[in-house]
């Protein structure tokens, strides 16, 4: 396993942790009556988590450029 692959895996794990934390926070906020600011924050956080789960290809390419 190359360093690039390890980094990509770490990015995906960070995305999974972020998604789980976001879901837990959203569940707590829904019970407390969620204002619109938290809805916007949750949507942005969800999008970022999904991007990280997909492997954040631009981030991995920036950290480990492809050598040809």
Which pTM value belongs to this model? 0.77
Average pLDDT over residues 59-63: 89
Locate all alpha helices (DSSP H) within 32-68, ordered by sequence.
Answer: 36-53, 57-63
Round to whole Å and give the CA distance between 5 and 26.
31
- 42 lies in a domain? yes
Q: Measure the CA–CA gap between 49 and 14, rounded to whole angstroms.
A: 8
CA–CA dist 36, 57 (Å, integer):
31
Q: What is the pLDDT of residues 5-59, one digit of tens each?
A: 899 999 999 999 999 988 888 777 776 666 777 778 888 888 999 998 888 888 8
Q: What range does the domain containing 37 cover?
A: 3-62
Q: Is residue 45 part of a domain?
A: yes
Residue 56 has a pLDDT of 86
CB atoms within 10 A of CB 46: 15
Confirm whether 44 is domain-assigned: yes
Distance CA 29, CA 45 (A): 14
Q: Is residue 26 one of the residues assigned to a domain?
A: yes
Q: How many domains does the chain have?
A: 1
**pLDDT reported for residue 27:** 77
């Amino acid at each position: 396993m190359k360093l690039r692959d390890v980094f990509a895996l770490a990015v995906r794990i960070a995305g999974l942790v972020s998604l789980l934390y976001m879901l837990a926070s959203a569940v707590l906020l829904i019970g407390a009556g969620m204002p619109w600011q938290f809805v916007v924050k949750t949507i942005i956080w969800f999008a970022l988590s999904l991007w990280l789960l997909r492997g954040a290809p631009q981030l991995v390419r920036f950290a480990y450029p492809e050598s040809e």
